[in-house]
Amino acid sequence: MSGHSKWSTIKRKKGALDAKRGKVFTKLNREITVAIKEGGPNPEANTRLKIAIQNAKGANMPKDNIDRAIKKASDADADSYFELTYEGYGPHGIAIYVECTTDNQNRTVQNVRHAFTKHGGSLGTNGSLEFLFERKGNFQIQKPVDFDEDEFTLEVIDGGAEDLEVEEEYVTVTCAFEDFGKMQKKLDEMNVQVENAELQREPANRLSLGDEEFVKVMKLIDALEDDDDVQKVFHNLEITEAQMELI
């Protein structure tokens, strides 16, 4: 099994830097709030909250911060956030899908539109890029000391894994959208510590660009990810090992 975890690797590195600026914690706080508003404050009865807490721990968010976020979100007067998606094209025809969590739709759409326009892209209508992306479950796992790739592969296939990427320190497991819960349960049964679990939008095809064009597209993606209202940014840009070093 082989996958396309380059972007996962990049996001993991970027996440470590963003965490220092507090951006990752802001986004995780919002995900915890939305999860609690949707399914209550008990993580054992609320899978989305359980995963949000798991991801917060994986991002080294202090336990006190997590507890405060849960307490604040459980308050009847807590801020209400809603989820929005935006679709558009970046420079050189790169498709970009943006998922947001916000308490102010006007502010968010203005910021997203400004980022697209400033960096040579154009915001499209909702649904215009839906056919280019397929929803997948993605699990990033820090490789255990006693990791046995063959045994692990057989186990996760039983849980619905479609793809497995083994790196030096991490293992990335991909499954179908409808198998996300099943895969999460299987990893729990295997006592595997998941560092990050999320639903992604995997492009059907990826486009390759030269280094100069690549850098221009990444400026748009970075601008979007720097917005506190933006939770995730997906795209169909193919990234080479050499281009990873340019980021």
Q: Show me where the domains of the chain are located.
A: 6-74, 82-131+206-244, 132-203
Whole-number pLDDT of residue 22:
66
8-state DSSP, 131: G
Whole-number pLDDT of residue 2:
42
Sheet strands side by side (includes 170-176): 161-166, 170-176, 133-142, 194-203
The set of residues, in sequence order, having a beta carbon less than 8 Å from that of 244 and lying 6+ positions away, is 6, 9, 10
Q: CB–CB of 30/81 below 8 Å?
A: yes
pLDDT, tens digit (0-9, with 9 covering 90-100), for 148-190: 999 999 999 999 999 999 988 889 999 999 999 999 999 999 9
What mean pLDDT do residues 60-79 have?
90
By three-state DSSP, how is residue 90 classified? coil
pLDDT, tens digit (0-9, with 9 covering 90-100), for 232-242: 999 999 988 88
Whole-number pLDDT of residue 244:
80
Stronger pLDDT, 169 or 48, i.e. the higher one: 48
- How far apart CA 96 and CA 88 sit, in angstroms, is 5
Which H or E element spans position 198? strand 194-203
With cut-offs at 50, 70 and 90, classify the pLDDT of residue 23.
confident
Q: CB–CB of 235/206 below 8 Å?
A: no
Name the maximum alpha-carbon separation found in the chain.
Answer: 51
Stronger pLDDT, 96 or 243, i.e. the higher one: 96
With cut-offs at 50, 70 and 90, classify the pLDDT of residue 13.
low
pLDDT, tens digit (0-9, with 9 covering 90-100), for 2-11: 444 455 655 6
pLDDT, tens digit (0-9, with 9 covering 90-100), for 132-153: 999 999 999 988 888 999 999 9
Looking at the predicted structure, is the pLDDT value of residue 12 above 90? no
Looking at the predicted structure, is the pLDDT value of residue 96 above 70? yes
With cut-offs at 50, 70 and 90, classify the pLDDT of residue 1.
very low
* Two domains, one topology: 82-131+206-244 and 132-203: yes
CA 18 to chain centre: 13
- How far apart CA 18 and CA 25 sit, in angstroms, is 9
What mean pLDDT do residues 14-29 have?
69
What average pLDDT is seen over the chain? 89
| Domain covering 6-74 in this structure, CATH number | 1.10.10.200
In CATH, which superfamily holds the domain spanning 132-203?
YebC, transcriptional regulation domain (3.30.70.980)
Whole-number pLDDT of residue 169:
86
- How far apart CA 156 and CA 148 sit, in angstroms, is 12
The fold adopted by the segment(s) 82-131+206-244 is: Alpha-Beta Plaits (3.30.70)
Q: CB–CB of 92/238 below 8 Å?
A: no
